Amino acid sequence: MLVLVGRSVRAICCALICVALIGAPAIHCCTGEPQVSSDAAPAPETAPPPPRPAALMPLYISFINLQALDVASTYRVLYAGGREANPVAARVVNSPAALIAFNAGTSAGIVAATERLRKHSPKAALIVMAALNSVMTTIVVHNYSVAARMRRE
């Protein structure tokens, strides 16, 4: 059974995503640049976004791999007699294809949100992805430990 630790870790993950999504426009608005009204002439071309930090792509790849391990570890727990503690994922856990699609969609959304954040704050994007990788690592390790414990019982 995936216990409350998994639920609280996923809540932290969701909170980090919300901060990333909400914080990106706020970071851009607080740069001290004058605000242009919507009826004014269009602004000249802006500078290209800063280059992607070298560590960001490996963090994306590891996050996607951790999502795949989450699916595998979740099914190990389920086959051992446990249950899914995440109420959103519990709705799709009966179908492996649905759970894979759910995790793929979550991964794509997180990568897209982080890319949006990266354009305004590359350091914040790195911090968010490192934190999300840590959260997912904790979830996966927890799932595998629960599955191993349930097999011994």
pLDDT for 17: 52
Domain contains 40: no
Range of the domain at 95: 4-28+57-152
pLDDT at 140 over 80: yes
Which of 6, 116, 140, 151 is closest to 64 using CA atoms? 140
pLDDT for 107: 95
pLDDT tens, residue by residue, 91-107: 999 999 999 999 999 99
Domain contains 17: yes
The two structure tokens encoding residue 95: 């179908």
pLDDT tens, residue by residue, 16-65: 554 444 444 444 444 455 555 555 556 567 777 778 888 899 999 999 99
Domain contains 49: no
Domain contains 36: no
Whether the CB-CB separation of 70 and 138 falls below 8 Å is answered with no
Q: How many domains does one find in the chain?
A: 1
Domain contains 135: yes
pLDDT for 21: 44
User: From CA 70, how far away is CA 49, in angstroms rounded?
Assistant: 33
pTM here is: 0.69
